[in-house]
Structure 1
Amino acid sequence: MVKKEKRFFDYSFLKNIINNEINKKLKQIYELNGLINDFSNIPEQTKNTLIKNSIFQSVTSSNKIENIVSTTNKIENIIFNNKKYTGENELEIQGYNDVLNIILNNFDNIDITKSNILNLHNQLYKYSNKTYLKGKFKEMNNYIFSIDQNNYKTVIFEPVDHSLVDDYITKICDEYNKRNDEKIIDPLILIPTFILDFLCIHPFSDGNGRISRLLTNCLLFQNDFMINKYISFEKIIEENLNQYYFTLRKSSTNWQYSQNDYLPFIDYFLDCLIISYNKLIDVNKKDYLENQIIEILTTSLIPLSTKEISERLVSISRRTLERKLKVLLEQNKIKKVGQYKNAKYKLT
C-alpha cells in the first residue's frame, strides 16, 4: 500500500517569517518597482524593444532549462512571424509562447484555480505530439531532477503520490487566494511559497517547471509587479540555475511533513527580482542597444560579425545595428577585426 504524506497547507505562518535580511530586500524591491511607473525618459521604441526581447528570452530560457532547444532563427519566427514547425521542441516552444502571451494580455482574468492551471498546461501542449500529457495531472509518480551541463540528472526530491495531486493543488490555490485576499502577507512572500508548493507537488508528468515560471509571471503581474514585462525573469533563473536547484533542494527538505524551510527559496526569488530591476536601471541609465551589444561581446569568446550580433538582437534592424557599431567604434568602445565582409567586432 502506498504511503500517503501527512501534509497541510496553512500560509498564516508567513506573517512571522520575515527576518531583517528579507525585510531589506522587500523594501529595496518596492522602491525599485517605482521605476516601472516612471518610464517617461525612455523612448517608446526602447520600451517596445525591451518587451520583445523579454518575450524572446523568456520563451528561449524557460524551455532551455528543460533541455528544449532550437535555433535563434526558428524561435524568432515562432514568436514574431507565427511560423509553424513540425519538430517536437518547436511545437512545445510555440505552446509556451502562446501561454506567455495569454498571461501578458489577460493576467487580470486568470483566477488561480485548479481548472485554470490545467487549462494553461493544456495550452502549453496544444501543438505537441504528446497528446496523452496535455491538461491532465500525472497518473504515475515522478521525481524532481537537477540537470548539470553534461545533461546528468540528479534526483533532488520525490513529489507526492499521484493520487494526492488533485486535492493538494486545490488546497494550495485556495490557501493562496485566501491569504492574498486578506492582504496581510506580502505578495512577494506569498508568491514563492505557492510556487515552491506547486513544484513539490509536481502535478504533471511533464511541464511542471515551465508552468511554474508562467504562474510566477502571472502572479507578479496580478500584484502590480510588471518588471517581467521588460526584463525576462526566466532568463534570470537560467543565469542562476545552480542556485535555483540548490534553494529548491533546501526548501523542499521535509516538505512532505510540513517541516520544510521556505526561506531559501523565497530569498532566491527576491534576489532574482532585484537582479531584474537592476537590469532595468541599466537600461534607464545608458543606451539600451549599446548595453546589448556590449553584453553580447563580453560573453563571446571570439570576435563576432554584424550578422552574428544581429542574430542575438531581436527586433533591431540591420541598418540600426550597423549605425550603432560605427558609433561604438568611433567612441573606441569596440574594435574591428578584419575588413569589409570579413569584419568582426570585439571589446577594446
Structure 2
Amino acid sequence: MNMLQRVAEFKGKQALYFQQSSEILTAMRNVAVIQSIESSNRIEKIVVTSKRLTDIVNGHVEPADRSESEIAGYRDVLKTIHGSSDHMPIISNIILQMHRYLLQYATGSGGKYKMSDNDITEELPTGEKIIRFKPVSAFETNEAMHNLVLGFRKRREEGIYPELLLVAIFVLDFLSIHPFSDGNGRMARLLTLLLLYQAGYEVGRYVSLEKCIEDTKDQYYAALQKSSVGWHEETNDVRPWVEYFLTTLIEAHRRFEQRMGGLDRTKGWKSRQVETVIQHLMGDFSLAELIDRCPGITGPTIRQVLDRMSKKGLIMAITKGRNARWRKIEQEEF
C-alpha cells in the first residue's frame, strides 16, 4: 500500500509540473518518444542505428528491412495512444487493431490471435532453450482474452480495488495468455501506457517507461517468472510482479521530477538535455540528428556541448566538415 500511495502522490503533483515551461516539456516528450520506441524494440533484440531510428520516427524515410518495419509499427501505435487514449476502450477489437498496426509494415499478419500454441522459452548460457512457461493454448485464447477484458472493465467500474493494481494484474494476465504469435512483449508495454493514461498517470509522455523497463529487464523477467508460477491453477502470487510494476512507475516519476526540477530552476538545462540524448544514442551521430532530438535547442548550443564533451574525452569526431559525425567513447560514463 505504501508504494501505491507514493505513486498516487506523484500523480497529484502532475498538474503543477505541467504548468512549467512548455519548451522543457516538449523537449522531454520528444526524447521520451524516441527512447520508448528504441527501448521496447531493443528488449526484443530489434535494433537499428540512431540515425535510421530518428528518420523513421519523424517519417523522413520508409522502413527498409524487417527491423525498421517493426520500429515503424511501434511508432504508429505509440502515436495513436498519445493522441487518442481517451477514445480507445479496453475491448478485444481495440487490442487486435493495435496489434494489426504494430505489424502492418513487418508482416502484415497482425490483428488476429495466435493460430497455434506458443511457449515462452529461455536460452541458457550453453545455448540450450528451455520452456519457462506454457501460455494459454491457441484454442482457448479468444475466450481467455474476452474474460480478461471483461473482468478488468467490471472491476474498474466497481471501484473496489486501486486502479493501478488492476492495471498491473491485467498486464501480467495478458503476458501469461500470450495471445499473439509475435509482438506480445511490445503489446504489453503499449497496453501498459494506454491503461496508465486512462487512469490519469501521464508520466509516460515525458519519461520513457520502456526505457525504465529495459534498464531493469533482469528484474522484469524475474518478477514475471515468479508471478506466473501457478497462474493456470489461479494459485499464483501476483506480489512480485505488482511490486516490480509499481517500482518502475516510481522510478519513472523520480526521473521526471529530477529532470523537471533541475531543468526548470537552474541554468544549463539545455546542455544537460543534449548530453542526456547523446548518452542514449547508438552508433555514430550527426549535428542534424541531435537537432531533431532536441527541440527548442539551437545548433550553436549543441555544437558547444559537442566541443566540451570532445575535450573531456567523452566523444570523438570521426568525420569533419559540414556533415561531421561523432561517436561516443564507450569506456567513459558521463
When normalised by structure 1's length, the TM-score is 0.81
Aligned to 1:87: 65
Q: Among 84, 88, 104, which residue is 1:106 paired with? A: 84
Q: Structure 2 stretches of 5 or more lacking a match?
A: 264-268
**Residue pair 2:114, 2:181 contacting (<8 A) in 1 also:** yes
**Residue pair 2:271, 2:301 contacting (<8 A) in 1 also:** no
Count of residue correspondences = 316
Q: For residue 286 of structure 1, give the secondary structure of its aligned residue in structure 2.
A: helix
Matches within 5 A, 1:172-211: 172-211=148-187
User: How many Å apart are 1:251 and its aligned residue?
Assistant: 0.3
Deviation per residue, 1:77-114 (Å, 9 max, x gap): 11113420220111111011000111110101111111
Letter in 1 for 2:152: Y
Q: CA RMSD in A?
A: 3.1
Aligned to 1:225: 201
Give the direction of change, closer, same or farther, for the CA distance of 1:84–1:62 in structure 2 (3 Å limit): same
Question: Does the alignment pair 1:53 with 2:31?
Answer: yes
Cα distance in 1 between the residues matched to 2:119 and 2:271: 43
Question: Does the alignment pair 1:69 with 2:47?
Answer: yes
User: How many Å apart are 1:307 and its aligned residue?
Assistant: 5.3
Letter in 1 for 2:69: L
Q: Structure 1 stretches of 5 or more lacking a match?
A: 1-22
Aligned to 1:35: 13
Aligned to 2:266: none
User: How many Å apart are 1:35 and its aligned residue?
Assistant: 3.1
Question: Does the alignment pair 1:319 with 2:284?
Answer: no
Moved more, 258-267 or 311-320: 311-320
User: How many Å apart are 1:290 and its aligned residue?
Assistant: 4.0
Aligned to 1:17: none
**Residue pair 2:287, 2:302 contacting (<8 A) in 1 also:** no
Aligned to 1:140: 116
**Residue pair 1:73, 1:311 contacting (<8 A) in 2 also:** no
Cα distance in 1 between the residues matched to 2:245 and 2:90: 19
Letter in 2 for 1:190: L
Deviation per residue, 1:262-283 (Å, 9 max, x gap): 1111100000001100101111
User: How many Å apart are 1:39 and its aligned residue?
Assistant: 2.2
Aligned to 1:8: none
Deviation per residue, 1:136-164 (Å, 9 max, x gap): 11111111234689998553211011100
**Residue pair 1:100, 1:214 contacting (<8 A) in 2 also:** yes
**Residue pair 2:118, 2:181 contacting (<8 A) in 1 also:** yes
Aligned to 2:215: 239
Letter in 1 for 2:63: Y
Moved more, 37-46 or 117-126: 37-46
Letter in 1 for 2:144: Y
Matches within 5 A, 1:14-33: 23-33=1-11
When normalised by structure 2's length, the TM-score is 0.84
**Residue pair 1:145, 1:154 contacting (<8 A) in 2 also:** yes
User: How many Å apart are 1:124 and its aligned residue?
Assistant: 0.7
Cα distance in 1 between the residues matched to 2:18 and 2:85: 24
Aligned to 1:13: none
Q: Among 255, 260, 276, which residue is 2:252 paired with? A: 276
